[in-house]
Amino acid sequence: MRFATYEYRTRRQVAVVDEDGTLFPLPGVDSLAGLLAGGGGLPGLLAAGAAALDVPPGPNVSEVRLLPPLQPPTVRDFVTFEEHVEGVRRSVDGSAGVPDQWYAAPTFYFTNPYAVYGPYDDIPVPPGARVLDFELEVAAVIGRAGRDLTPEQARDHIVGYTVFNDWSARDLQSAEMKVNLGPCKGKDTATTLGPYLVTADELDEYRDADGFLRLALTASVNGEVVGEDLLSNMSWTFEEMVAYASRGTWVRPGDVLGSGTCGNGGCLAELWGVRGTQDPPPLTPGDTVTLTVEGIGSVSNTVVAGAAVVPVPAARRRDRRRP
């Protein structure tokens, strides 16, 4: 099943989406994250969706404003594509190759759950940024709480998948990571999720013998394709990522785990690293980025001017006197 969250005539609703885009609202449900938090995992979500199909249909997706499928309590973003690491590392900090430590575990950072945008929302340029980039990813959504999971156990904790665009201010990111901490403001102001949450069972037909989802990924800017890859080029499966995320802590319903950016043009910075020049150029107001994932759908966002920088002073050197 596919689930959408949308706004229609000032009302926010959650619905099942059928093949022609008709929405079947879930009675009394205005939050997919809230529904997942109620327990039941994938079976519970499918049961709620099946019940919605028995009530009169609502509008078509073409008549509503699609919102992010859910507002996640946490967002972890991984980096699981070796080709992406090679290109972006060369672009952002001038280093070649992939750090040996990258191969040891599926590294991730926490990004901002308060900066989630819908599949067709405008995206403001982060304050002070001059080098804006997109990142084509797929995200897994947790449907059942768990900790210290094995990869085999983790499969039952993934309720579905959605398209994930990790908008990145490369100039801010490059500067702040010189402190060996972050990224922070370079990735703090926008993440796109959508257009739907596609339940995990819908994508089983794409799973290969090693457990990877063989989905075609395409990125375009202003209608021109700039990147194409397969999701199965990840170096870890989503189940392995969830198991690692749950080590010593909890994953809970509604948590979002991004795959990390795909290779072969999954973002502009990778292309800049490979080509040695900013070609295509950084995104500016008016540019439209469209990301398409086989079996899930497309998101398409237009960049708009953002807020002005609110100044904060540089560090003051202190004399370190003690009482």
Q: Which two tokens stand for residue 69?
A: 């499928």
pTM above 0.85, yes or no: yes
Q: Where are the beta strands (DSSP E) in the chain?
A: 2-8, 11-17, 23-25, 65-66, 75-78, 108-111, 116-117, 123-124, 132-133, 136-142, 146-147, 158-166, 168-169, 191-199, 216-221, 224-230, 250-251, 256-258, 288-293, 297-304
Q: What residues form DSSP beta bridges with 13?
A: 6
Hey, how many other C-beta atoms are within 10 angstroms of the C-beta on 58? Answer: 18
Going from N- to C-terminal start, the domains of the chain cover 2-66, 75-304
Residues 70-118 have pLDDT tens digits of 999 999 999 999 999 999 888 877 778 899 999 999 999 999 999 999 9
Low-confidence ranges of the chain (pLDDT < 50): none
Q: How far, in Å, CA of 55 to CA of 25, rounded?
A: 8
93 contacts 244 by C-beta, under 8 angstroms: no
Residue 206: how many CB atoms within 10 A of its CB? 16
So what's the pLDDT on residue 323?
85
Asked if residue 29 lies in contact with residue 48, where contact means CB atoms within 8 angstroms, the answer is yes
Paired strand residues for 169: 132
Task: Say what the pLDDT of residue 206 is.
Answer: 98
Please give the Cα distance from 193 to 284 (Å, whole number): 21
Rg (CA), the chain: 20
How far, CA to CA in Å, does 212 sit from each of 11, 72, 90, 215? 38, 24, 27, 9
Helices assigned H by DSSP within 132-184: 151-154, 170-176
- Report pLDDT digits (tens) over 289-321: 999 999 999 999 999 999 999 999 999 999 999
What is the CATH code of the structural domain delimited by 75-304?
3.90.850.10
